[in-house]
Structure 1
Amino acid sequence: MSCGEHHETDCSEVLSEVWLFLDHECDEKRKALLQTHLDECHPCLEQYGIEEHLKALLARKCGGEHAPEELRRRVRAHLFQTTREGTVEVDVEVTTTTTTKAD
């Protein structure tokens, strides 16, 4: 993604690291760079807002449980690789259940 404006940090790079920013998992220098970009770039700020709301929703609904560190590492690596490649494939399986009421 690119907003079409010139920024010190590319939009796609910022968005690939937005979860690290939200989770306070980047160093102060990187945090400042990402914050500057978000302050200057409305499309990225909007996407950041969506991610921030998603994170809050997950925290509320998951009861604050934390995933094991190995799982977090693997998910983070997969997300990083996927966002760097610029492709995301999602398989969704829809199942329907029909219930009938007996008279």
Structure 2
Amino acid sequence: MPVLQIIIGSTRPVRSGEPVAQWFADLARADGRFEVELVDLKEVGLPLLDEPNHPRLQQYTQPHTHRWSEIVSRADAVPMPRVPRGARPPGSRCCAYAARSARGSAPG
């Protein structure tokens, strides 16, 4: 069964994305065509730009980046909402380190 990962991109203490992600996860589970995983970037704890090499090389040196790569490599699909004025820092950095790991599928 394809794995659909729903990423909660905000890491703020008070955030509106969590209930929206849960609502979407419930819809996807009810559909029955996906194994659904909620991935919370607040829990993942992926610091900003602390890897010496470009993400496309996948030459990670930090344990948290290796964990993130393992998480996202399970995904067959990752829905990403459009955000006015571009992605926020947690969401944009997760995409930078996810694009090569996600079995060749682009976030979108």
- More RCO (CA 8 Å, sep 6+): 2
Q: TM-score range by the shorter chain?
A: under 0.3
Q: Which has the higher helix share?
A: 1
- TM-score w.r.t. the length of structure 1 is 0.27
Q: From the two aligned structures, give the one with the greater strand fraction.
A: 2
Larger Rg: 1
